[in-house]
């Protein structure tokens, strides 16, 4: 069974809000074996809504609308769908009772516009919305289902989880959809594609491969669709085993997991701790590490040493070394790492120093120049990188790279 999602609202198309509804709905539908074939966003416009519905019904068995069912003049989804299905609007006492119950503490909110929410299409199944005044409408015609839900996320989510998905599961037979992610490092996307080309060609028809690159890591996602969950799992696991024979240690995880969580797992496994000393990343490494629940078990803290004075006073970086080599240098970043390692008494430490931009670069050290050091009491791993001219990207890439360097050191050390 295939589903199409149509989100309605000028605010989406002008970039005033981000359409999180469609992403959430797709994930939830995928969990229960319903495939989303397309997502469309349209203006609050009768012609656009009608045309998008007509096209969607060619592709999909189910069309899910969100948005445009409020009480104001710009909310025209209900009227448009009523016209499309040749339905008349009738007053629904149960819907009105629900509205009265919702507004009983706000009597001034009850007016002719909110009362109009109780006017519903006579050809639709009406599903009550206990969190809002706009009911959900379900049209079932010619073996196709069209559902209209509120655009307010918490109202839509409640409707989907408690009403729409259960009804779809009764109405249609769903398949099993399985995804498996493999995280690969050390290869640009194109080089990885060439490396595994023969393996990819031999994938069974029921298994699809997607490349999802990010800086330093490519996520390979294997997806399988069928009726037998165990057979699908077995088929995907076999392909992962074959891939592991080709890529070896370039595979850093066989699950979809952020690098900060992967690092945390290894630190817990080895009963080790880490601290950070950050200049150009401004605490972003600390932010990602501490975003993982339970990180207090292995993370001691950070020194955001943005100025040279802080580097000297808190991390014991040699003042003369900064004058001679510059703050963005191998020598300084290693002293930063050693300084925070000593002061916080950890097993590992990460330090970063670079020119995030857009200003501050020179011919010798252009914007994006970054030194990263990962140390233990006995080991230094220090590297120089040239990132981009974009400040935000430089911070994100330096953070990702630093965590990946720590991960590799953790994995290598016995």
Domain range for 301 is 259-412
Q: How far apart are the first and last CA of the chain?
A: 50
- Verify that 164 and 33 share a domain, yes or no: yes
Q: What does the pLDDT read at residue 107? A: 64
- Verify that 314 and 221 share a domain, yes or no: no
Residue 359: closest CA among 323, 394, 396:
394
- Verify that 218 and 334 share a domain, yes or no: no
DSSP 162: I
Structure token digits, residue 83: 């016209």
- Verify that 166 and 185 share a domain, yes or no: no
What's the chain's average pLDDT? Answer: 95
Q: What does the pLDDT read at residue 110? A: 75
Torsion of CA 358, 400, 374, 347, to 10 degrees: 130
- Region 351-355: mean pLDDT is 97
- Verify that 8 and 121 share a domain, yes or no: yes
Q: Does position 185 have pLDDT exceeding 80, yes or no? A: yes
Rounded distance between C-alpha atoms, residue 279 and residue 303, angstroms: 9
Task: Please name every residue paired with 276 in a beta bridge, in sequence order, or none if there are none.
Answer: 302, 350
Domain end (from 234, 253, 272): 253
Dmax over Cα atoms in the chain, in whole Å?
83
- 8 Å CB contact between 124 and 89: no
Q: What does the pLDDT read at residue 13? A: 93
- Region 187-199: mean pLDDT is 97
Rounded distance between C-alpha atoms, residue 341 and residue 348, angstroms: 7
Domain end (from 126, 155, 171): 171
pLDDT band of residue 317 (cuts 50, 70, 90) is: very high
- Verify that 101 and 202 share a domain, yes or no: no
- Region 369-377: mean pLDDT is 97
Check which CATH number belongs to the domain holding 327 and give it.
3.90.950.20
- Verify that 156 and 181 share a domain, yes or no: no
Structure token digits, residue 280: 């150009």
Q: Does position 4 have pLDDT exceeding 80, yes or no? A: yes
Check which CATH number belongs to the domain holding 249 and give it.
3.30.70.2860
- Region 107-132: mean pLDDT is 88
- Region 168-193: mean pLDDT is 94
Q: Does position 379 have pLDDT exceeding 90, yes or no? A: yes
Mapped onto helix, strand or coil, the DSSP state of residue 395 is: helix
Q: pLDDT tens digit string along 339-348?
A: 999 999 999 9
Q: pLDDT tens digit string along 382-402?
A: 999 999 989 999 999 999 999
Q: Does position 74 have pLDDT exceeding 90, yes or no? A: no
- Region 5-21: mean pLDDT is 94
Structure token digits, residue 305: 């040493």
**198 upstream amide cis, omega within 30 of 0:** no
pLDDT band of residue 1 (cuts 50, 70, 90) is: confident
Sign for the pseudo-dihedral over CA of 84, 85, 89, 91? negative
- Verify that 159 and 202 share a domain, yes or no: no
Domain end (from 253, 278, 295): 253
- Verify that 96 and 205 share a domain, yes or no: no
Degrees, nearest 5: CA angle 218-224-225: 145
Q: pLDDT tens digit string along 282-298?
A: 999 999 999 999 999 99
Q: What does the pLDDT read at residue 175? A: 87
Beta-carbon neighbour count of residue 103 at 10 Å? 15
CB-neighbour burial class of residue 20 (10 A; exposed 0-12, middle 13-18, buried 19+): exposed
- Verify that 309 and 188 share a domain, yes or no: no
- Verify that 29 and 61 share a domain, yes or no: yes
What is the DSSP pairing of strand 380-386 with strand 62-66? unpaired
Q: Does position 102 have pLDDT exceeding 90, yes or no? A: no
Check which CATH number belongs to the domain holding 108 and give it.
3.40.980.10
Q: How many domains is the chain built from?
A: 3
- Verify that 137 and 8 share a domain, yes or no: yes
């Amino acid at each position: 069974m295939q589903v199409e999602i149509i989100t309605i609202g000028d605010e989406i198309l002008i970039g005033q809000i981000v359409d999180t509804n469609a992403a959430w709905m797709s994930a939830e539908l995928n969990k229960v074996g319903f495939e989303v074939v397309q997502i469309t966003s349209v203006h609050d416009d009768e012609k656009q809504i009608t045309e998008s519905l007509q096209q969607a019904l060619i592709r999909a068995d189910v069309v899910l609308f969100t948005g445009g069912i409020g009480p104001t003049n710009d909310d025209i989804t209900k009227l448009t769908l009523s016209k499309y299905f040749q339905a008349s609007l009738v007053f629904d006492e149960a819907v009105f009772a629900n509205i009265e119950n919702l507004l009983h503490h706000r009597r001034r909110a009850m007016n002719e516009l909110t009362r109009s929410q109780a006017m519903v299409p006579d050809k639709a199944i009406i599903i009550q919305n206990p969190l809002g005044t706009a009911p959900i409408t379900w049209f079932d015609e010619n073996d196709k289902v069209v559902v209209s839900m509120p655009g307010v996320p918490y109202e839509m989510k409640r409707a989907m989880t408690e009403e729409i998905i259960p009804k779809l599961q009764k109405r249609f037979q769903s398949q099993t959809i399985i995804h498996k992610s493999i995280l690969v490092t050390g290869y640009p996307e194109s080089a990885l594609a060439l490396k595994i080309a023969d393996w990819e060609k031999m994938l069974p028809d029921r298994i699809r491969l997607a490349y999802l690159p990010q800086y330093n890591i490519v996520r390979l996602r294997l997806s399988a669709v069928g009726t037998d969950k165990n057979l699908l799992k077995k088929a995907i696991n076999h392909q992962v085993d074959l891939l592991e024979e080709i890529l070896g240690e370039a595979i850093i995880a066989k699950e979809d997991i952020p690098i900060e969580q992967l690092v945390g797992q290894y630190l817990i496994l080895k009963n080790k701790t880490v601290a950070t000393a950050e200049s150009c990343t401004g605490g972003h490494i600390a932010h990602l590490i501490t975003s993982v629940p339970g990180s207090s078990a292995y993370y001691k803290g950070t020194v955001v040493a943005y100025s040279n004075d802080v580097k000297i006073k808190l991390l014991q970086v040699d003042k003369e070394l900064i004058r001679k080599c510059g703050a963005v240098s191998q020598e300084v970043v290693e002293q930063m790492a050693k300084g925070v390692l000593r002061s916080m008494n950890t097993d590992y430490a990460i330090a970063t120093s670079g020119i995030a931009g857009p200003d501050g670069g020179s011919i010798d050290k252009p914007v994006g120049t970054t030194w990263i050091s990962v140390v233990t009491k006995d080991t230094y791993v220090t590297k120089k990188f040239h990132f981009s001219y974009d400040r935000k990207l430089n911070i994100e890439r330096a953070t990702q790279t630093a965590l990946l360097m720590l991960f590799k050191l953790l994995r290598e050390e016995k």
